[in-house]
Structure 1
């Protein structure tokens, strides 16, 4: 924003210097002046829009996200628009049914489900994927 102010001042001084002959050329310079004024106003509005978007992103990054009380533990698709969700709220776990128009609590778990940590993909995953796709790896042909 601060870098815009010297640029705008430079353009305004250029407009004042563009009409050294005074009122003799007023009709020609009046049209150019109004066009330049319109362009400056447009640039100012666009600059404000970009400044506000930048400020909004900065403010959203400041909000703490690590201390959330509600966490999504697992999700399973049942169809194109239906899902099962395992959600933890505090110490309690809930099984929810999610459809296009509604969220339905299905079950409150008495004992929390412990989820295994993510394990990295093994080389046999690629082999299984090739088999599922119906392709045979080149080293086994």
Structure 2
């Protein structure tokens, strides 16, 4: 990744150096009329910048630094407000589910569910809200009894 960053840095610096050298050489041009050559130069500079941008995006994709939401293993399954600013949030992380307590100042992991203990596996049988409440109540009672 360091090599890709260095390469991008040198490419950007060389483009800036070339642009600065061209501007220093054309500083004597004082007419107020935009010529065809000026427009062609602007368009070619724009094309170079767009090509450089595309090359950087391609490098980031190849290096794996650029990820998209489709590959995410993290999702929020459900949430339940338990106060004005407090919530219980059920989050899926890979094959596990985490029950998180969320307040304005912190986030606490309350429960970790794996395998058959996971919630919302049989959503067809019961209502989603009722299932969540039942499973949460069972999990909290089971944890307090131990």
TM-score (norm 2): 0.35
Give 1 or 2 for the bigger CA radius of gyration. Answer: 1
TM-score (norm 1): 0.36
